[in-house]
Amino acid sequence: MGIELKIQQMTIDGLPFTCPECDTSALTLDARGPIDAFATVWATCASYHSWEVYLLDIDDLQAINAARTGRQRAEDEDTFAVVIGGVAFEGTLHPDVILDDLKRAARDVYWKKIIKPAARRRKNAAKRALKRPIKKAAAAVTGTATNTVAAAKAAAIGAAWDWNTPGGDPDPDYTPEPVNPCIACDGEGSHSIDSRIHGATHVPCLVCSGTGEID
C-alpha cells in the first residue's frame, strides 16, 4: 500500500532537507513500487525536480505519518518529530483541510463580503445624512448674502439711472454743496465802476456768473 506525504519543511538531525537542484523545502515524499516490500521513496519538489531518498523507506513514511500532530483549529500547524534508525526527523506537513478551516472561511467571507460592506454603507449614509442639513444651511446663508449684495447693487444702479435720466426721480438724499461768496465782489454779483465812456455804473461779476459752487 503506497503512501504520500506533503512536506512544507523538514530537517534531518537538524539539517534542512531540500531539493538538491533548486534548494526548495516544499516537497512531496511518496513510496513507489509494485509491493510495499520493494517500494522506494521518492521526493518531488514544488518545481517538479524528483530524486530518490535512500534514507527512508515506506515504513519510515508511515512512522512520520503516525507521528504527525494533526490540526484542531485553523491556526494550528501539522508537525511531526520522530527518530528513525537513530536519526531525528522533524518538520511541518502541508495542512489538510479541517472543519475549522471551513468555518473560518465562511465567517471571513460572510464578514468581509456581506456584513462589513453593509456596515460601511450604513456608516457612509449616516455621514451623508448628517452633512446634508449643514450644506443646505451654508448654501442658504451664502445665497442670502449673495442676494443681499445683488439687491444693493441693483438698487444703486437703478438710483443712478434715475438721477441721470431726464424726468427721473430726484435723489431724496441729495444735498447741494455749500456756496462760497465770491471773493472778487464779496457776493454782490457786480462791481461798481466809474467810467467816462458810458453811463453804466455797475458791471456783472464774471466769477459770480458761474455756478457759484465749490468745484
pLDDT digits (tens, 9 = 90+) for 153-202: 666 666 665 655 555 555 556 565 555 667 677 777 776 777 666 666 77
* 8 within 8 A of 93, measured Cβ to Cβ: yes
Rounded CA gap, 36 and 1, in Å?
A: 6
> How would you classify the pairing of strands 202-204 and 15-16?
unpaired
Q: Say which residue the cell 465782489 belongs to.
A: 185
Q: CB burial class (10 A; 0-12, 13-18, 19+) of residue 125?
A: exposed
What average pLDDT does range 64-75 have in this prediction?
Answer: 86
Rounded CA gap, 18 and 33, in Å?
A: 23
* 84 within 8 A of 56, measured Cβ to Cβ: yes
* Closest-CA residue to 176 (of 143, 202, 125, 211): 211
The dihedral over CA atoms of 195, 201, 203, 204, expressed in degrees to the nearest 10, equals 170
What average pLDDT does range 84-89 have in this prediction?
Answer: 92
Rounded CA gap, 3 and 184, in Å?
A: 134
Rounded CA gap, 155 and 168, in Å?
A: 14
* pLDDT value for 133: 64
Rounded CA gap, 42 and 53, in Å?
A: 5
What average pLDDT does range 109-133 have in this prediction?
Answer: 66
Q: What is the pTM of this model?
A: 0.45
Q: What is the mean pLDDT of the chain?
A: 75
